[in-house]
Amino acid sequence: MTEGRIYSKIALFALPIFIGQLFQQMYNIADSLIVGKVLGTQSLAAVSSSGSLIFLIVGFIYGVFVGAGVVIGRYYGAQKYDMVHRAIHTTLAFGIAAGVFLTVFGITCTPLILRLMNTPADVLPESIAYFRVYFAGSLGMVLYNASNGIFQARGDSRHPLYYLMIASATNVALDLLFVKVLGFGIVGAAAATAIAQFLSAFISLMKLTHVDDVHRVTIRDIGFDRPLLGEILKTGLPTGVQNSVIGLANVIVQSNINAFGSDAMAGCGAYFKVEGFAFLPVTSFSVALTTFTSQNLGARRYDRVKKGARFGLASGVLLAELVGLLFILFAPKLIGLFTDSPEVVAYGVKQARTETLFYCLLSFSHCMAGIIRGAGKTTVPMLVMLICWCLIRVTYISVIVKLVPDITVIFWAYPITWTLSSICFAVYYLKADWIHNFERQEQRRANA
């Protein structure tokens, strides 16, 4: 990422991430598609009700892996390969500990959390069953994401793509077998996802133990390096806290949606599944910009960082808006893939036609956050998103829904808060002059 044409480097790095996340969305969405068509609206609502809760739990761990990727990428760009080795093995040790914790926490706390989310009584038993089996696969999910972060910090976005393709195909096949053929119900859908997660983690780790490069994993070296763990947590904790609090805000939003009944839950759940696909260009460029920024700052290529940031921002925003326009045009058909109920489809279409034109703002915020995280300044996006996407969003919904009991009020919370975060990031990027701070620090070190 520190040599060659900037545009092709970012685009070619982002493309496998895009395709990989496309397959990841496919195996996430397979549960909802098959459950909705085979088991009906209530089962689809049960799967949908767990989405925000899963993000709440997983978001924190994933944020720490973002920090690990920044640290590994910075050392790789600076050619400090011993530090790369130590950081990789500390990341995997943290992943194992986090996976075990998530498994225990998810299985034991599921009923309490779902009740706090106002999950309707007719949906609750299936929601608990799905969520518990899903989190039985937590260790596989966490270790895959840890491995994925290591590959991407090295500049390799192709191998995670291959492993996701395998896992996606496995998940879809097992969904059809467990749910449609064997009749295992909603538990079968969750089991298919858990098995696929373990498979992707196993293949990723096998590859890392056999690569002939600086990011090779040696099993006996997996352990905690305290200084590096502190550096990883210092960089990753703000993103982890941000993800968790955003997840908590989404849980509160979901609880407000739940109050409108199972049709609203299923329709909005279907929308969020489709939105996951629409969101792919955003996350692809955001991740690419984080890796590009961290490696080039480590290599002290400051002009290259600025040019890459401009290209990534423009590409992410334009692609996201194009996807949003297509989503509006085909919303009824896309939502209708999940259910034959006109009432459920109507809720999903209403949400799509309220939010999708504003995907450009969502993309701008995420790409800016990716650039700033790559510079190690993870506190800035954390504060912006906590204030805009959590505090303001939850306050708006809590107050306005009581005054205007219409589900559209909830839908408008997203475009409003995306606009606010975009304004904050633009002001910071233009006024803070943060890249020049790295240049000035380098000049002071040279003159010392």
HEC readout, 117-137: CCCCCCCHHHHHHHHHHHHCC
Per the domain annotation, does 239 fall within a domain?
yes
Tell me: pLDDT of 448 over 70.
Answer: no
Query: What's the total number of domains in the chain?
Result: 1
| Phi, psi values for residue 433, rounded to 5° | 55, 40
Average pLDDT on 311-319 reads: 86
Q: Which of 60, 13, 88 is nearest to 246 (CA)?
A: 60
Q: How far apart are CA 34 and CA 43, in angstroms?
A: 10
Per the domain annotation, does 250 fall within a domain?
yes
Per the domain annotation, does 274 fall within a domain?
yes
Average pLDDT on 163-185 reads: 85
Q: Kindly state the percentage of the chain with pLDDT values over 70.
A: 89
Q: What's the confidence (pLDDT) of residue 421? A: 93
More confident residue, 23 or 403: 403
Q: How far apart are CA 376 and CA 148, in angstroms?
A: 19
Q: How far apart are CA 313 and CA 304, in angstroms?
A: 14
Domain residue limits at 13: 6-439
Name 448's Cβ contacts closer than 8 Å, sequence gap at least 6.
none
Gyration radius of the chain's alpha carbons: 21
Per the domain annotation, does 415 fall within a domain?
yes
Q: What's the confidence (pLDDT) of residue 419? A: 95
Tell me: pLDDT of 42 over 90.
Answer: no
Per the domain annotation, does 61 fall within a domain?
yes
Q: 37-46, 316-325, 337-346: which has the highest mean pLDDT?
A: 316-325
Reported pTM: 0.69
Average pLDDT on 424-445 reads: 68
Cβ atoms of 72 and 84 closer than 8 Å: yes
Q: How far apart are CA 161 and CA 167, in angstroms?
A: 10
Q: What's the confidence (pLDDT) of residue 379? A: 82
Residues 198-243 pLDDT 10s: 998 999 999 988 887 777 888 888 888 888 888 888 877 777 777 7
Q: What's the confidence (pLDDT) of residue 434? A: 58
Buried b (16+ CB within 10 A) or exposed e, 421-438: bbebbeebbeeeeebeee
Average pLDDT on 137-142 reads: 88
Q: How far apart are CA 123 and CA 374, in angstroms?
A: 41
Per the domain annotation, does 182 fall within a domain?
yes
More confident residue, 70 or 24: 70
How many alpha carbons lie under 13 Å from residue 249 in its C-beta half-sphere? 24
Average pLDDT on 250-279 reads: 79
Residues 91-119 pLDDT 10s: 899 889 988 988 898 888 888 877 776 67
DSSP code for 92: H
Per the domain annotation, does 1 fall within a domain?
no
Q: What's the confidence (pLDDT) of residue 198? A: 92
Per the domain annotation, does 283 fall within a domain?
yes
Q: 275-284, 380-389, 439-448: which has the highest mean pLDDT?
A: 380-389
Name 48's Cβ contacts closer than 8 Å, sequence gap at least 6.
32, 265, 266, 268, 269, 270, 272, 273
Average pLDDT of the chain, as a whole number: 81
Q: How far apart are CA 106 and CA 53, in angstroms?
A: 10
Q: What is the 3-state secondary structure (H, E, C) of 23-52?
A: HHHHHHHHHHHHHHHHCCHHHHHHHHHCHH
Q: Which of 295, 6, 42, 283 is nearest to 156 (CA)?
A: 295
How many alpha carbons lie under 13 Å from residue 413 in its C-beta half-sphere? 27
